[in-house]
Structure 1
Amino acid sequence: MGTEFHLKADAAAEAGPYVLDIDPEQAGWGYSSLRVLDLPPGGHHSFATGGSEWIVLPLSGGCTVRTDDGEVFELAGRKSVFAGVTDFAYVPRDAQVRLASEAGGRFALTGARCARRLPARYGPASGVPVELRGTGSCSRQVNNFGAAGTFECDRLIAVEVLTPGGNWSSYPPHKHDECRPGEESELEEIYYFEIEPSHGTDGVGYQRVSPSGRGRGTDVLAEVRSGDAVLIPDGWHGPSIAAPGHAMYYLNVMAGPGETREWLICDHPEHGWIRGTWPDRPVDARLPLYEAPAGDVR
């Protein structure tokens, strides 16, 4: 079901320098992009930003980011997505960028086609708002490093979500596939997954997307593993299910045609009632998995 929208890690090795390379042409939409890059110790990679803005986000390891405008950002990074919040770098459209990593690592390049050319900037880990969303078995952690209202971009919206094993996130199912001012924003979305290994096994998770009656009628029921991605051009998305014993991470990348950069969602009418039960339950005691480090914001 929906195999065109589920990109498996083992099929991504043909993406040139990237282990995953999703651009608007490939996805069949207009704005959102994601590239995942593995660098060996001492490795480097250069790319042109073209007509898109990008955030360089370490998934594991750290790197140096240099632009042709002379900006240099040292990203300390992190051991893994399950180990801590990371710093990041924003690079604008119409630029040349070089990444270099002394120790090696994996890096996400989250992108969106845009109109404005904003300045390159450093995003410190200490400035990333960490939010706990939902309660009970719907509890999850959201690292709002590139959320609307948190970090300035022209069109790009990007956040990280961490779901403890056995919990459901992206729940209730929701959509953002039409423009309804003040109620819903039209946003294309990419989910990139990593699953925390446990007891010698890599683990799996599950992702559901059901048709909303709009667009391409996206219909996905996918077993996802580390390195997989799911494309969501439209439809009700959720739940994202973490198998017991394996925490689930996903990186959300969103962009769309709206004049205002905002994330406005509409809950599925059959499942939105679950939000009303949250005030009566505690947040999962396993959360937060970690918090943003204290420190000065540059």
Structure 2
Amino acid sequence: MSELLVKPSGHTGKVIEVTPESAGWAYVGFALHRLGSGDSVAEVTGEREVCLVLVSGTAQILAGGKDFGAVGERMSPFDGKPAAVYVPGDSDWRVEAVTDVELAVCSAPALSDKKVRLIAPDAMSQEVRGKGTNTRYVTNILPETDPTADSLLVVEVITPGGHTSSYPPHKHDQNDLPHESYLEETYYHRLNPPQGFGFQRVYTDDRSLDEVLLIEDGVTALVPKGYHPCAAIHGYDLYYLNVMAGPQRIWRFHNQAEHEWLLK
């Protein structure tokens, strides 16, 4: 199996864990917890900031000494916007599931004092990107226009069956602002119906990295560098949750020149 693909380790508890050490990079961390009703998980943030995203389900969330009560309304990542809580460094959080819950824990270096806060669904902007069979639907959870985070960029995307996404191919692996920013990235994938599959290619111009990943329900793909387009096969919608971070909290990407004609 490719080192760029992380499959769930089980059905309950912490089933996905990506750390900077395990990924061989410096910034992005990602974990996925599956909790049954009444189950709980708690952690301290230390030197990292965290964005808790309720991929599905309702949970009681306590973070940084604030009780946010029952958070999260959607029971599927394909049904409306998520709810999220931002937790700064040198803090803590606790999540107790009210229903079955899928909880994503997105993390990156904390650089300054920030405040814990709820990111409610109605505070998240949405946009449509692309056209034709390159159309996809984006929900901005923690975009660069939101100044309440130090390093994290968090977004989720739904790509209809038969469509492409993160396409035309683009990359963000050079610290060359204002043209391109260096950002590591994870993709947490879900499919609807769940027996479907998709594909993601991760590759560089010189093809020193060139891998095609089979995307199944619940896997996480790592993008340390290079282009990283996705394709959802007919009949199966593809959801992914993106976590990005780098030395600067700016998303500037470079399109692969051979495919830029698609944007005209």
Map of 1:65 onto structure 2? 61
List, as ranges, runs of 4+ consecutive aligned residues in structure 1 with deviation greater than 3 Å.
Answer: none
Q: Distance in 1 between matches of 2:154 and 2:205?
A: 23
Quote the residue 1:270 is aligned against: 258
| Preserved contact between residue 134 and residue 140 of structure 1 (Cα < 8 Å) | yes
Distance of aligned partners of 1:219 and 1:13 in 2 relative to their CA distance in 1, 3 Å threshold: farther
* Aligned amino acid, residue 261 of structure 2: W
Q: In structure 2, give the amino acid aligned to 1:110.
A: C
3-state DSSP of counterpart to 1:185? strand
Q: Distance in 2 between matches of 1:204 and 1:241?
A: 9
Aligned to 2:22: 26
Identify the residue that residue 39 of structure 2 maps to in structure 1.
43
Deviation at 1:257, TM superposition (A): 1.2
| 1:5 alignment partner in structure 2 | 4
CA separation in 2, counterparts of 1:151 and 1:262?
11
CA distance in 1, matches of 2:40, 2:166: 35
Distance 1:48 1:31 in 2: 17
User: 2: distance between equivalents of 1:122 and 1:62?
Assistant: 14
User: How far apart in 1 are the matches of 2:205 and 2:107?
Assistant: 26
Q: Which residue number corresponds to residue 212 of structure 1?
A: 205
Whichever residue aligns with residue 205 of structure 1, its letter is G
Which residue type is aligned with residue 4 of structure 1?
A: E
Taking only aligned residues, the RMSD between alpha carbons, in angstroms, comes to 1.7
Q: Which residue does 1:255 correspond to in 2?
A: 245
Contact 1:218/1:233, CA 8 A, preserved across alignment:
no
Equivalent in the alignment of 1:290: none
Whichever residue aligns with residue 195 of structure 1, its letter is: L
Task: Report the Cα distance in structure 2 between the residues aligned to 1:114 and 1:178, rounded to whole angstroms.
Answer: 22
Give the TM-score, by structure 1 length: 0.84
Could you tell me whether the CA contact under 8 Å between 2:13 and 2:35 is conserved in 1? Answer: no
- Would you say the 8 A contact 1:195–1:249 is kept in 2? yes
CA contact 1:34–1:111 (8 Å) conserved in 2: yes
| Unmatched tracts of structure 2, length 5 or more | none
2:223 pairs with 224, 232, 240, which one? 232
Contact 1:55 1:91 in 2 (8 A): yes
Q: Secondary structure of 1:179's match?
A: strand
Amino acid across the alignment from 2:30: L
- The number of equivalent residue pairs is 263
Q: 1:213 offset after TM fit, Å? A: 4.4
Q: How far apart are the structure 2 equivalents of 1:4 and 1:51?
A: 26
> SS at the partner of 2:213?
strand
Separation of aligned partners in 2, 1:255 and 1:77: 27
Describe the superposition over 1:218-249 as per-residue Cα deviations: whole angstroms up to 9, x where unpaired: 322011111101111101111x1011011000
Of 164, 168, 173, the match for 2:164: 168
Between the aligned partners of 2:47 and 2:242, the Cα distance in structure 1 is 20
Task: Report the equivalent of 1:203.
Answer: 196
User: Partner of 1:54: helix, strand, or coil?
Assistant: strand
Question: Does structure 2 conserve the Cα–Cα contact (< 8 Å) formed by 1:54 and 1:92?
Answer: yes
Could you report, residue by residue, the CA deviation over 1:117-174 in whole angstroms, capped at 9, with x for unpaired residues? Answer: 3100011101111110000010001101111104621000010010000000110100
Larger strand proportion, structure 1 or 2?
A: 2
User: Among the aligned pairs, what percent are the same residue?
Assistant: 35
Contact 1:212 1:234 in 2 (8 A): no
